[in-house]
Structure 1
Amino acid sequence: METQLNQTQSPSFRPRALALLLACPAASVLAQSNVAVYGVLDSGIAYTTNTNAAGAGVTKIPTLTGSLPSRLGFRGTEDLGDGLQAIFTLETGLGVDTGNMGQNRLFGRQASVGLKGSYGQIALGRQVNMTFLATQKADVMGPNLFSISSIDLYLPNARSDNSIFYFGRFRNVSVGATYSLGRDSSAAGGPAGTNCAGEVAGNAKACRQVTGLLAYETEPYGVSASYDIMYGNAGAAGGLTSADNSDKRVTLNGYVKLGEARLGAGVIERSTRAATGLQQSDLYYCGISYPLQPLLTLDAQLARKDQKGSDADATLLVARLTYHLSKRTATYASLGRMQNSGASAIALDAGGTVGAGKTQNGLSLGLRHFF
């Protein structure tokens, strides 16, 4: 009877014991790790004039951004003891208009793993670089559909593949740097797919990128400076078809709070040594962010691109009203104007088109939700 009883109990006992054994490691991992799922969904409708040489306008639902680019992300930490943490980030861009992924990759916004401690953090992978971080507080419009991102499409796409990343904040001083062995593995085209995978035997300079940052920031004011140089290789976009070709940006940015208003300004100096020759430009911007009411914020920005040795300049003026329906949800309206001169053909909306030398006006209405 005892043997028979054990045999009849065994089939049910074994799955339960196995489930308990499998659950123990999982519970241990959950106790030590913290993983957050987060994201932004931002979409709207935009109308712009003079989208071609004939002066035709267009109404569309933008793909790249509204007030912020849409995204889905996973961020995790594990406590390793003595103040040291393991960290990771996986973040993909989304086109709410079509449901497509952004940046031509599964995790095109970020994919990195690293360590974080009192000395700062170091990580490996595809990551934002120091140009991206340098303008975050001074640029009041950020990656809005109408913003300085339209003048320099690299700014919201300042990320590097195959990069070693360091960032440290010591009281009010921040320092950071990235070094990429191959800055962009995608050949899909556009600012997020410039076809420079690098890591070429016998050509250590091919597709390398170096960025650096130094900043002093407090609550009422701050200033930051960054340096960014990327090299090319055969087949790379933007005329950087040799490792001897380069695209360099140096930025100086600052912000100050005056009462409830925050003012931000900066200059971005760019020098491109491409197969087509040397091109140099300065991009100046200044803006203000002011809460008209507790739930209503006005942002405005004026920017000017000066193309050296040419009359192909451009001037941007944009204003945005944002009404916060809750802590996570907001609706907004943007008005913008891009005045092109000479042969300049910079579109008001990021990723859009405009007739050469034409002034373009635009209106954007949208809804944004954080989760």
Structure 2
Amino acid sequence: MKHGRIAAVAAGLFSASAFAQSSVTLYGVMDTGIEYVSHANAAGDHVIRMPGITGEVPSRWGMRGAEDLGGRLKATFVLESGFNPRGGDSGQGGRLFGRQAWVGLEGPWGALTFGRQYTMTYWAMADADILGPDIYGIGSLDAFVPNARSDNTVVYKGKFYGVTIGASWSFGRDSAGTGNSPGQGTCAGQVPGDANQCREWSAMLKYDGTYFGVATAYDEQRGGTNAAANFFDGTAPFPIKSSGDKDARLQANGYVNLAGVKIGGGWLGRRVESGGSGGDVRSNLFYVGAQYYVTPTFAVDGEAYRVIVQQQDARATMASLRASSSSSRMRVQPWRVCARLTSCRSGLRCTVMSRICGIARTLAIPLARAAAARHPRRAWGNSARSWASGIPSDLARRAERRDTSDTIDSTYRGG
């Protein structure tokens, strides 16, 4: 795997008569490598290639900013663009800022944001899903999970004494018409006379303590003219054209930290209700994983998954194992193996995938406005400080692996 990280911080203007502060951060991650995949086709042949989308985390660059408005109120924004290092093309269907594009207000009461952003499905799973958006993670069995974003969305999130509550409402989850996740089709938004078409809403309740945390969330998508539902087993996506059709997910999960080992797991239930040819389909996805630092700079983690799609008589079991080593300025994954055993309609297939990994480097470059100060200070971000120490904290490692920028908890920001 090869990371490139660039962070540039523009220092705010200070004066004796005002406490207002503005900042803009430029950040990015490049992640790629070489993978070997056995049983890559029906004949059982193997393939050696560069991954098309991601390695440990999806590659991206972005800008985030904040301005102090006074009275404990801040204006915030994030513009984040995904891209594929293999070919240099944009991700998320060719969108310029397909990962995130939102603006909002943040205060003691939480944050209210507007634009293209994550739904509560993603946030609820952020800590319990050990591997996150990894190339061999949960997205192999439900592509929506690492792509749980929607257009035209209003989001509220607030954290109070360890309890986080959140909700999102989208007036039309795919206004660009390029699809939010593979096989899902497009769904631009409501039309006159049908306010429910392409609507999406989600809600979350989450608790994070010192040694453990739990979360639950519900996410519901309504159908539209070109909308579809797809599953992992290769069955062709079937249409959910009516605004009365639903594609809903309910989840419950948790994690615990015991003697240096983090263990996480959960359940994700899905129910598709369609008046078309697909009918009603239910699935259940279970996952459990663990992470352990053998030394302060060498970690081993892994996760196992089981999914059952009842109406299609399809089921799969997948397991991934990962090891990574980090130092002050580099990050190396010496080996990476995923063993996947699937059974779909009585067919059995075993696939072994491994990655040959490169070097990861972290670089933070402080910048300052000309009028800010004569001698700008070195400004290292939280992630850069953690890597420079050579001992990444659990929060820093989660932030490195996460596919996001959180307006509530600055220690959890990805990129």
> Structures share a fold, TM > 0.5?
yes
CA separation in 2, counterparts of 1:331 and 1:317?
18
Shift of 1:358: 2.2
Give how far 1:282 is off: 0.5
Per-residue CA deviation, residues 296-333 of structure 1 (Å, 9 max, x unaligned), is: 10011111001224431000111000111336634353
Aligned equivalents of 2:56 and 2:354: distance in 1?
12
Percent of counterpart pairs with the same letter? 38
Q: Find the counterpart in structure 2 of residue 280 from structure 1.
A: 282
Cα distance in 2, alignment partners of residues 209 and 357 from structure 1: 36
Q: Aligned equivalents of 1:132 and 1:187: distance in 2?
A: 22
Verify the 8 A CA contact 2:150 2:180 in the aligned structure 1. Answer: no
1:15-51 deviation per Cα after TM superposition (whole angstroms, max 9, x unaligned): xxxxxxxxxxx999xx742000111111111111112
1:117 is matched with which residue: 104, 107, 123? Answer: 107
User: How many equivalent pairs are there?
Assistant: 335
Instruction: Give unmatched runs, 5+ long, in structure 2.
Output: 1-12, 230-238, 364-415
Partner of 1:13: none
Mapped pair 1:150 → 2:152: no
Q: Trace 1:1-371 onto structure 2 (pairs within 5 A).
A: 32-104=21-93, 105-189=95-179, 191=181, 194-238=185-229, 239-274=239-274, 275=276, 276-326=278-328, 329-343=331-345, 357-367=348-358, 368-370=360-362
For 1:281, the aligned partner's letter is: S
Q: Is 1:124–1:162's contact at 8 Å kept on the other side of the alignment?
A: yes
- Deviates most, 303-312 or 222-231: 303-312
Q: What does residue 14 of structure 1 align with?
A: none
Q: Distance in 1 between matches of 2:330 and 2:103?
A: 28
- Structure 1's 49 and 189: CA in aligned 2 closer, same or farther, altered over 3 A? farther
| Cα RMSD after superposing both structures | 2.1
Q: State the AA in 2 paired with 1:182.
A: G
1:93-141 Cα distance to aligned partner (Å, 9 max, x none):
0111111111020000000000000000001000011001011110111
Contact 1:40/1:370, CA 8 A, preserved across alignment: no
Provide the TM-score with structure 1 as the length reference: 0.86
Paired AA for residue 148 in structure 1? I
Tell me the amino acid that sits aligned with residue 248 of structure 2: K
- Cα deviation for residue 261 of structure 1 reads 0.5
C-alpha contact 2:174 2:180 (8 A) present in aligned 1: no
Deviation, 1:200, is: 1.3
What SS is found at the alignment partner of 2:328? coil
Residues 164-217 of structure 1 deviation map (CA, whole Å, 9 limit, x = unaligned): 000000011000000000011243357167310113111100000010000111
Shift of 1:283: 0.3
**Residues 36-89 of structure 1 deviation map (CA, whole Å, 9 limit, x = unaligned):** 011111111111111221111111111211000111010000000010000000
Q: For structure 1, list consecutive stretches of 5 or more residues without a partner in the other structure.
A: 1-25, 345-355
Amino acid at match of 1:334: R
CA distance in 1, matches of 2:71, 2:49: 53
> Which residue is 2:407 aligned to?
none
Aligned residue number for residue 396 of structure 2: none
CA distance in 1, matches of 2:334, 2:221: 36
Conservation of the 8 A alpha-carbon contact between 1:311 and 1:341: no
Bigger drift between 236-245 and 356-365 goes to 356-365
Q: Is the 8 A contact 2:316 2:344 kept in 1?
A: no
Cα deviation, 1:222-255, whole Å, max 9, x if unaligned, reads: 0000000001111123222221111100010100
TM-score, with length taken from structure 2: 0.77
Deviating runs (4+, > 2 A) in structure 1?
A: 185-190, 325-333, 356-359, 365-371
Q: Secondary structure at the match of 1:131?
A: helix
Summarize the Cα distance change of 1:262–1:337 in structure 2 as closer, same or farther, 3 Å threshold. Answer: same
Contact 1:41 1:370 in 2 (8 A): no
State the distance in 1 between where 2:343 and 2:332 align.
35
Contact preservation (8 Å) 2:260, 2:292: yes
Matching residue's letter, 1:253: N
Larger radius of gyration: 1
Return the alpha-carbon distance in structure 2 between the equivalents of residues 115 and 331 of structure 1: 39
Q: 1:99 to 1:66 in 2, by over 3 A?
A: same
SS at match of 2:156: strand
Q: Give how far 1:369 is off.
A: 4.5
**In the aligned structure 1, how far is the partner of 2:288 from the partner of 2:14?**
51
Distance 2:324 2:137 in 1: 15
